[in-house]
Structure 1
Amino acid sequence: MHAIRLHTHGPAENLTYEKTEDPEPGPGQVRIAVAAAGVHLLDAALREGGQGPGPAPAPLPTIPGREVAGTVESLGEGVAHLWLGKRVVAHLGFAPGGYAELAVTDVDRLHEIPENLDFAQAVAMIGTGRTAMGILQFASLGPGSVAVVPAAAGGVGTLLVQYAKHAGATVIGLAGGPEKVARVRANGADLALDYTDPDWVGQADEYRGKATIVFDGVGGETAKAAVGLLGPGGKHLVFGWSAEGISHGRPLLIDGVSEQVLGPVMLGRAGGPNPVRTLELRALTEAAAGRLSPAVQRFPLSEAAAAHRALETRNTIGKVVLEP
């Protein structure tokens, strides 16, 4: 098979497209013919040598990627035959291997893809959608809500705008540049603003003191200005700080207003024996019902380095997906 391999930590150019051995499914596992692999900012941090989830970074060389969708084409010992040929999506957990034509994972990680979703959309919902569902556990949205969504053209931001509008909220969506702003407006935001415009806060002045929630995955000056729109009792939900760099930044937290909702906090709220799977199922259910529709930007698998560069420089719209 062909795959993207990382032999040395460093810049995106260190991701190389190579031919390598096919992986074999072990007991309780399946092999998936990958049709779409998700790309995450965490992948870029790990590529640079940062510490990610799990007990230790994957040893080099490695095939990055933890989100895949495709068709089950081979079964390991003990796996029910009914899985063969199924359209599935899975988060691989701590084990990388997604940036490839073939990937192996435990059968317990599989979700069958709803008929109305393609492979790339399914990948978006299993990762980005899961995160959005986790964030929304901390939000109370209704007809009286005014939600501010920085990075509203991104993968998570797109879904937050859609969910808030479906709940009846007024939505202010922020994005960088005319093309992204147009996408945010088309996605249903009541007010779509370009945060690179020095006067964007003035353009939102009618909502000053009226915003009830800020969904913040950006941090930095944009987040500070967005928080300034909150009224009494407003909430600032922090789930990232991409403007500062995921490896080096720190979340913007303001006493009495901010709440950080990543990691164990998010999973603890989801509950159940497998909270990760609980959120994945919620995300896929929302997409299958047509209430959420993920934005996807596709790159060929061989152009993984370009995908990483685009993601790191915030030149993407929606979830970044590699397609073999």
Structure 2
Amino acid sequence: MRAVWLREFGGPEVLRVEETPDPVPGEGQVLIETAAVGITFVETQVRSGSAPMPLPELPIIPGNGVAGTVVAVGPGVDAALAGQRVASTTGGTGGYAEKVAVDASLVIPIPDGLHHRDAVGLLNDGRTALGIAQVIAPAAGEWVLIGAAASGVSSLLIQLATRAGARVIAAAGSRTKLELAQSRGAEAGVDYTQPGWAERVREVTGGLGVDVACDPAGGDIGRAAFELVREGGRFLAFGAGSGSMTVIEPEEAAGRGVTLVSMGAAFPSPEAVRELSVRALAEGAADRLRPVIGQTFPLERAADAHAAIAKRATLGKTLLIP
């Protein structure tokens, strides 16, 4: 099979497609022939060696989200799984490949009517958006500021917040991205690459600030988002697009009357994570949650996909198609 290998940290060009022996499913595993493979921003940070987390030992095949068809099962696995369309995480690596062996406990059947590509778009990003929506609990009439608004997670979170009756202000880095966010339900948009964007948020909310801010950017943008939360509001940081997470001291938040919401509260157990993933795919099949599949690349162009993401030139979810 073909697989994309990361053998050294560096620019996108270090990702190389190589002929690789097919994985063999072990005890409790299934072998998935992939039809769509998800790419995350964090994976581009890992590739470059700049991720705000411990880096893996190399070499690895990157990738943690796939959809496809089970083509073989290992010992101890129900043979009825063979031939089923499934989506699955991989445990962290192995996804950028034509085939991947994963624990059978990780696979989720893809509901009828849901495309492989949409299943990948919902698997990780959908469960993240659902988990965030649960813990921030947007209410009817509340102002909710959502950063990186055209990303996979945020574009789904916008849909969930507006469904709850909240009024969403999308924050992103271009007019195109803001237009996408507004097509998903955002009421207003601000370009946070432009001076005065925070003041614009205050203007939209009549000078009051927002009830909830969800920050995937970190850095100065995350700090500004926190300062836009009014007394009695909630703040959640869930990414490090700038290279570092937004860290707010509890004492500072308490002094402003702002509740800090943690991502840990959204995913209290492995069982909760799986339940959110199942829900995300079901919501997609019912057309109540629509992922944005902004661009796809063939497997051999994984480097181009990473380059596009690093340049912030993508919308929604970016996929590899083996």
User: TM-score scaled by structure 1?
Assistant: 0.89
Q: Deviations over 1:212-269 (max 9, x none)?
A: 10111112333333334332211111111212x1xxx23242522362523x44322x
> How far does residue 60 in structure 1 lie from its aligned partner after superposition?
2.9
Q: Any stretches of 5+ residues in structure 1 without a counterpart?
A: none
> How far does residue 134 in structure 1 lie from its aligned partner after superposition?
2.0
- State the partner residue of 2:77: 79
Q: Any stretches of 5+ residues in structure 2 without a counterpart?
A: none
- Work out the number of aligned pairs and report it: 313
- State the partner residue of 1:237: 236
Q: Deviations over 1:68-97 (max 9, x none)?
A: 100111121222222111110001114x11
- State the partner residue of 1:5: 5
Matched residue type, 1:211: V
Q: In 2 relative to 1, CA 250–163 (structure 1 residues): closer, same or farther, beyond 3 Å? A: closer
- State the partner residue of 2:179: 182
| C-alpha contact (below 8 Å) 1:38/1:123 kept by paired residues | yes
SS state at 1:5 partner: strand
| C-alpha contact (below 8 Å) 1:116/1:288 kept by paired residues | yes
Query: Structure 1 residue 150 and structure 2 residue 151: aligned?
Result: no
- State the partner residue of 1:282: 279
Query: In 2, Cα distance between the equivalents of 1:289 and 1:2?
Result: 34
> How far does residue 178 in structure 1 lie from its aligned partner after superposition?
1.6
Q: In 2 relative to 1, CA 58–211 (structure 1 residues): closer, same or farther, beyond 3 Å? A: closer
- State the partner residue of 2:109: 112
- State the partner residue of 2:246: 251
| C-alpha contact (below 8 Å) 1:158/1:318 kept by paired residues | yes
Query: In 2, Cα distance between the equivalents of 1:109 and 1:279?
Result: 13
SS state at 2:195 partner: coil
| C-alpha contact (below 8 Å) 1:132/1:159 kept by paired residues | yes
Query: In 2, Cα distance between the equivalents of 1:189 and 1:42?
Result: 25
Query: In 1, Cα distance between the equivalents of 2:209 and 2:288?
Result: 26
User: TM-score scaled by structure 2?
Assistant: 0.90
| C-alpha contact (below 8 Å) 1:149/1:215 kept by paired residues | yes
- State the partner residue of 2:48: 48
- State the partner residue of 1:35: 35
Query: In 1, Cα distance between the equivalents of 2:9 and 2:317?
Result: 24
Larger mean Cα displacement after TM superposition, 154-163 or 18-27: 18-27
Q: Deviations over 1:136-164 (max 9, x none)?
A: 22112222211111111111110111001
RMSD (CA atoms): 2.1
Matched residue type, 1:173: A
| C-alpha contact (below 8 Å) 1:239/1:260 kept by paired residues | no
- State the partner residue of 2:204: 206
